[in-house]
Amino acid sequence: MTDELRTAALRWIADDPDPASRAELSAVLDRLPDSAADLADRFAGTLAFGTAGLRGPMRAGPNGMNLAVVTRAAAGLAAWLAARGAEGPLVIGYDARHGSAGFAARTARVATGAGRAALLLPRPLPTPVLAYAVRALGAVAGVMVTASHNPPRDNGYKVYLGAGLGGPLGDGAQIVPPVDAEIEAAIAAVGELSAVPLGADGEVLGEEIVTGYLRAAAGVTDPDGPRELAVAYTPLHGVGAAVLADAFQLAGFAAPAVVPEQAAPDPEFPTVSFPNPEEPGAMDRVIALAEATGADLAIANDPDADRCAVAVPDPRTGWRVLRGDEVGILLADHLMRRGARGLYATTVVSSSLLRAVCAGRGLPYDETLTGFKWIVRAEGGELVYGYEEALGYAVAPDLVRDKDGITAALLVAELAAGLRTELRTLTDRLDELAAEFGVYATDQLSVRVDDLAEIDRAMRHIRSRPPAALLDEPVRTEDRLPGADVFLLRTDSARVVVRPSGTEPKLKAYLEVREPVGAGGVAAARERAAASVRALRTETAAALGIR
């Protein structure tokens, strides 16, 4: 087996266009047999191109993100576009991770080598700017080089389609099946990389494209609304700081105070274990800054600024980070109160509260599979708002048909500023919603694994031996296979949704308990719901066979 791997590695080295990757893989060969496990992992397969595009560790070999893999992906995408007779430029964005600028530049050269115009965003920018640019420039497709909130060693490659191939709902949205499989087949059909023609560097766009996005983003707020608000902010070493500051200024808000040690892009993300605002501790520094400056809100974007996290001062518990479901319902309610009529949508793993609110207010609602590629294609009317519990919000889907952490932050600020004039807070509004619709308490059981086989084992375990009861209530099950690797367990008052993460080596179980507000009021109902969620978490872990 080692001889076969050595031969495969030598073939790869001979075709690899990057001297640094060639040297890296040669060094692995030099360390054999001690490096046999490393070599086997690098050649365990080809980094899969799915509906999230490519995402994986930066390393040489087919099972990693590197210039050879990106060249092949770009050539496959170019061939797929050409086979469909699709016309128009390819627009390319990138973040500040290791390799992102080089991967973007190589994608542009592959596109021009295939006879297609390539337009590069002017600098490392948030993913929502790329999604906006696809529509604004009438591009045939877009590529965003980013691994979002993954660890520092990772990078990724997302593909968006324009109106010609994506259709009205998919214009400026990420790809969905069967397009991902078709592009992956085109990638597999690419021959030797030395035969892939490379053209000119492509056109670097001016700042006008960013200015256009910023003006449109600022327009999501009511120009006559209150603006008195103090915000502490962190981009978590990502690319959001300058864009968010400009958006706040254009919308009339004071500039946020920014965590200084996290303000500049840094691909090593040195101050956080994982650059994901969902992770415990990721918002500690921005909360400390908010306390020190007397801020009304603490806001964090993830590194590519398509997600938005919010923390608020709570007189009962001190500063606390709001769950994505809490921010999601706050923004939905705010838009409804502003008179935004149309379709509201979320995903199967998000809280059921949005469904209840839409039913109570006579608004159309849809529930989709996980991911904004599905939310923006929700059915039942013209989408005016979509969210997912993983801190993603589309508050202006006519502007960006994807999650957008910049516009979400603006709308959160508008809501908080308006409540502030009434001496009320975001938590007050959450209590009002609970009093009207009941308490919907959510939590997540997330298990990070080193061996992906552990996820498959747990999914088989829950499917073959689901619990008969949860919280002493009979369980009804629903299996979304083969369409989606999602397994649901429902009782009269609770729901558990189990699925593998689409972007990280994690197994996730999404927990929800519904508790009516009785004579004891909202606070008592929240206490009962919290206790039930804790019990549900324990029972779910046991049902998954997690030790």
Q: Which of the residues are catalytic?
A: 148
Bond prior to 482 in cis (omega within 30° of 0):
yes
The answer to whether the beta carbons of residues 214 and 37 sit under 8 Å apart is no
Q: How far is CA 285 from the centre of its chain?
A: 22
Residue 487 backbone dihedrals phi, psi, to 5 degrees: -125, 125
Please give the angle made by the CA atoms of 381, 385 and 389, to the nearest 5 degrees. Answer: 125
Alpha-carbon gap, residue 533 to 439, rounded angstroms = 12
Alpha-carbon gap, residue 353 to 349, rounded angstroms = 12
Q: At what angle do helices 241-251 and 405-421 cross, to 10 degrees?
A: 40
Q: Which of 409, 406, 385 is nearest to 396 (CA)?
A: 385
Q: Which of 485, 496, 479, 482 is nearest to 535 (CA)?
A: 496
Answer left, alpha or beta for residue 172, where phi above 0 means left and psi between -120 and 50 means alpha.
left
Kindly calculate the radius of gyration of the chain based on its CA atoms and give it in whole angstroms.
24
Strand order in the sheet with 308-314: 257-258, 231-234, 297-301, 308-314, 318-321
Residue 293 backbone dihedrals phi, psi, to 5 degrees: -100, 0
Which amino acid is located at 262 in the chain?
Q
Q: How far is CA 292 from the centre of its chain?
A: 30
Q: Token pair 């500040």 is at which residue?
A: 96
